Amino acid sequence: MTDYHFDTPAGPNPIDQQKIIGHPHDRIDGPRKVSGQAPYAQDYRDGISNIAYGFIVGAGIATGRIDRIDTREAEAAPGVLLVMTHLNAPKQGPHQHDLAPQLTGPEIHFYDEAVALVIADTFEQARDAAKLVRISYTPKKGRFDLAQERLNAVKPDEDEPDTSTGDFAQGFAAAPVQLDVTYTTPDQSHMMMEPHATIAKWEGDRLTLWTSNQMVHWAIRDVAGTLMIPEENVRVLSAFVGGGFGAKLWIQSDAVLAALGARAAGRPVKLALARPQIMNNATHRPATIQRIRIGTDPQGRILAIGHEVWSGNQPGRKIENAAQQTRLLYAGKDRMTSHRLAVMDLPVGNSMRAPGEAVGLLALEAAMDELAEKLNMDPVELRIINDVQFDPEKGPSRPFSTRKLVECLRHGAREFGWSKRNPKPGQVRDGNWLVGMGVGSAIRNNLSKNSGARVTLRPHGSVLIETQMTDIGTGSYTILAQTAAEMLGLPMDRVEVRLGDSRFPESAGSGGSWGANSSTAGVFAACEQLRQQIAQKAGFGGAELTFRGGQVHAQGRSVSLASLAGKNGIAADGTIVFGDLEKRYAQASFGAHFCEVGVDRYTGETRIRRLLSVAAAGRILNPKTARNQCLGGMTMGVGAALMEECVVDTRFGYFVNHDLAEYHVPVHADIPDLEVIFLEELDDKSSPMKAKGVGELGICGVGAAVANAIYNATGVRVRDYPLTMDKLLERLA
Amino acid sequence: MSNPSGTKPFTITRRDLVVSGAVTVAVGSGSAHAQTSEPKAKVSRASQPTMPVELIANGTPHRLTLDPRVTLLDAMREHLNLTGSKKGCDHGQCGACTMIVNGRRINSCLTLAVMHDGDKVTTIEGLGSPEDLHPMQAAFVKHDGFQCGFCTPGQICSSVAMLGEIRDGIPSHVTRDLMAVNYSDEEVRERMSGNICRCAAYPNIIAAIREVHEGNT
């Protein structure tokens, strides 16, 4: 494995040709997906015989202990092979980091935590027998209401919960114009279409998991750690993932219980969380309370900006870092951010699409709208005059690698017809519809992770890419093929991509929008290595190489790749290793969202009429798949603004609306044709690909644009997301 | 739910109802109303009743002996290895399991396999293969009408049957003139709203369906 160190800005390289990269190529995995031939975790059959089925019994209380658990009836039920509870479950790794031990004791930590596992010959038998496990509990009083627990919140033991620059208190107190507002965002659920699901099979002491996971090498680490077996004894396969949005960054109960059940039953076991179990048993995005204070001069220039966030989680778990974008987005001399964490007994909170910014911008970008009104300024102009080309906490010594926020705002305003917006709310009617427009800035921190790949030039001159990278709908298969095709001068149909197998080189995985840029850079690194090996074999020494049409050209000579590949082919491994450029430069993707809504004056129903996002995110590797990512983010942002909320029963401590009938996500009828525009940009500090993350940018700020449009339409400002009709109706004139 | 195929109904004894809660769902939802014959339930090795059923899956008849609790979805996936149809919720809330049964789209997770004796079931595999895509499948690829692909088999089966419903003049919630049902994006969005796409390729799905509709007219 050869490391390609990326610690100086990228110079010109073969990717810049953009013959294949940068073009809207159809997904190469598309024909398999549309014909039902792409295998997801539960679809595997080959090499898996005599399979048994698992079903999880979840805790019926949120906190307390199991007094008695009676499995006799379940064990006697037809087809049942075994029932596992804390009384007979094997010892596992501890409750720490991202390990996921199951059935560890009689204590209940959250509602629907697994308390028993039933394994039976058939799914129907396991499901029905699960209802026969009799459990009595002693419940304990729990902490379920963030508004109350906020008082007990403490400064968490994390990297950087607080930041401070200048003197915020003094700067804000002295500011001629002041805004002090508090927003709340609810718990939200990923609701990816494919449930958490695993098939586990043991051969001796070696375990194979066909599972649905975004991060294969983390899955290996955490499965091995939880089961207390060597990592090399675990193989994870996750070639197709039916959506993740952060839910599948870490292993969940399905993987661990399938493995434990399969070992105990001596047969392969298939186990999926039932849809109504997912919201409470697995993870969600935690609710927040956010106080934002902004002080400006009379012209709207920000003098002081402060963002305080409260969230709750299980003991030892993390904050929702919703103030992170406020550290970077706008200028201002005196600044502060803080995060406080309350220990609560709701299910485990964790990352969901754009953790931090997605809900942080729901507050910040609505506050900017309120501020614009207070200043009697256009909200686009307010954002533009507060642009800053360096990290405003660190100063000009840490410039942004690229930052086209102003260009996004101006371009979007022009395309959207922003000048037609009536700044006075509640003025525009279309029949019974109150019509309004809103804007929101988008920023998403650009993350990168070391990523490896193996690229093999095969006999006959085709190329195979193998990497642990996953494709969770993001288009990884296609952009990795485009990268290799560009680097090696081959047409797309000569490149095959295999993903999601832990036997392949370790990759960045899919999460935090780091996947596309990091994993294509990994393939770039492997292709650089392969190009050198090819050159050597062709006897070109250190000459300038051109790869074109299945041939390599140098020194006036051409050699076909097929002839060089020989009988055995040529394989090259490479890994992109990121240096400190992301410390020296602030790196983020930027955008601007423009939304027009109609609000029914009699019912308070909101409809999205138009939605435009303009994005600048470095090189767009494939405009077709990137646009689709933006559509998805925008739509999830519309959901956050209008409907998505895990409703907490504060008496019993669980999310009540735990399925797709009760937790509303946008459907076809909610979403009109959306528009996405990418501004041209290359970021030579991000990677040799000069690309940045785009999968989460779409959700960042869009919900606030919707909320601001609702305010413009109605004159009603709701600071408690989601903006459901009941909250509007009581205040509509 | 009606039983448009006119296939053999079956009956359930009180004892069977006690044995299997899942079966009560089937009775409540319909097709066991006309009780004409004795139950075909047998006691299996595991002392659970099974029933014979014949399913015409993508044109091929299959005789199965199934636990009556097995849904049509699980019969296809777990017994016939047709895994293209997906189980997103198992509760009729997401549409990922949509199949075309005797020409009509249904949530296959909400119906028991034994209710479909003799029925013609078309799954995503029956529409086309990677080498020979159905026009709707090809349009989904061309317009990038999916991301993760998990809802896609259901979206496509639903789309194909839905265009037939518009052609047949079946109105929807948004149809203004019930006597003149016409294709529009609004009609399609309404009629496809039972198929959730959390990745939200919605505008691309609408574009794919529009292209197939225009190619057919």
pLDDT tens figures, A55-97? 999 999 999 999 999 999 999 999 999 999 999 999 999 988 8
Which A positions 660-699 lie with beta carbon below 8 A of chain B?
660-661, 665-669, 671-674
Q: Are residues B147 and A473, on separate chains, in Cβ contact within 8 Å?
A: yes
Confidence at A691, pLDDT banded by 50, 70, 90: very high
Structure token pair of residue A247: 């839910």
Q: Is A696 one of the annotated active-site residues of the chain?
A: yes
The shortest CB-CB distance from B125 to any of A36, A193, A672 is to: A36
Q: Are residues B130 and A32, on separate chains, in Cβ contact within 8 Å?
A: yes
Per CB-CB distance under 8 Å, the chain A contacts of B147 are 243, 472-475, 625, 628-629, 632
Looking at residues B187-215, what average pLDDT do you find?
Answer: 98
- State the nearest Cα–Cα gap between A355 and chain B, in angstroms: 17
Looking at residues A456-473, what average pLDDT do you find?
Answer: 97
Structure token pair of residue A384: 């533009």
Residue range B79-112, pLDDT digits in tens: 999 999 999 999 999 999 999 999 999 999 999 9
Q: Are residues B202 and A240, on separate chains, in Cβ contact within 8 Å?
A: no
Looking at residues A128-153, what average pLDDT do you find?
Answer: 98
Question: Average pLDDT over chain A, rounded to whole?
Answer: 97
Which A positions 129-168 lie with beta carbon below 8 A of chain B?
131
Q: How far is CA A601 from the centre of its chain?
A: 36
Which domains does chain A show, CATH number per domain? Answer: 2-38+448-580 (3.30.365.10), 52-141+196-272 (3.30.365.10), 285-446+587-730 (3.30.365.10)
Question: Which pLDDT does position B46 carry in this prediction?
Answer: 52
Question: Which pLDDT does position A361 carry in this prediction?
Answer: 98
Per CB-CB distance under 8 Å, the chain A contacts of B135 are none
The shortest CB-CB distance from B130 to any of A27, A35, A45 is to: A35
List the single best residue of B17, B69, B147 to mutate versus A (max A Cβ within 10 A): B147
Looking at residues A321-329, what average pLDDT do you find?
Answer: 98
Question: Which pLDDT does position B20 carry in this prediction?
Answer: 38
Structure token pair of residue A356: 């931090």
Q: Is A271 at the interface with chain B, CB within 8 A?
A: no
SS3 A461: helix
SS3 A199: strand
Cα distance between the two ends of chain A: 67
How many other CB atoms are found less than 10 A from the CB of residue B155? 31
The shortest CB-CB distance from A43 to any of B83, B130, B195 is to: B83
Per CB-CB distance under 8 Å, the chain B contacts of A627 are 144
Which A positions 50-69 lie with beta carbon below 8 A of chain B?
none
Contact A154, A276 (CB under 8 A): no
Which A positions 431-470 lie with beta carbon below 8 A of chain B?
none
Residue range B110-158, pLDDT digits in tens: 999 999 999 999 999 999 999 999 999 999 999 999 999 999 999 999 9
List the single best residue of B87, B107, B174, B198 to mutate versus A (max A Cβ within 10 A): B198
Q: Are residues A31 and B199, on separate chains, in Cβ contact within 8 Å?
A: no
Per CB-CB distance under 8 Å, the chain A contacts of B125 are 35-37
The CA–CA distances, whole Å, from B17 to A201, B23, B32 equal 35, 6, 13
The amino acid at residue A364 is: L
Q: B10: closest CA among B63, B49, B60, B48?
A: B49
Question: Average pLDDT over chain B, rounded to whole?
Answer: 84
Q: Is A76 at the interface with chain B, CB within 8 A?
A: no
Which A positions 318-347 lie with beta carbon below 8 A of chain B?
none
Per CB-CB distance under 8 Å, the chain A contacts of B153 are 34, 36
Q: Is A205 at the interface with chain B, CB within 8 A?
A: no
- Cα separation, A209 vs A235, whole angstroms: 6
Pairing of strands A64-70, A107-108: antiparallel
Confidence at A212, pLDDT banded by 50, 70, 90: very high
Looking at residues A605-626, what average pLDDT do you find?
Answer: 98
Confidence at A541, pLDDT banded by 50, 70, 90: confident
Scanning every residue of chain A, which has its alpha carbon at the shortest distance from the alpha carbon of B127?
A35
A314: pLDDT strictly greater than 60? yes
Residue range A336-378, pLDDT digits in tens: 999 999 999 999 999 999 999 999 999 999 999 999 999 999 9
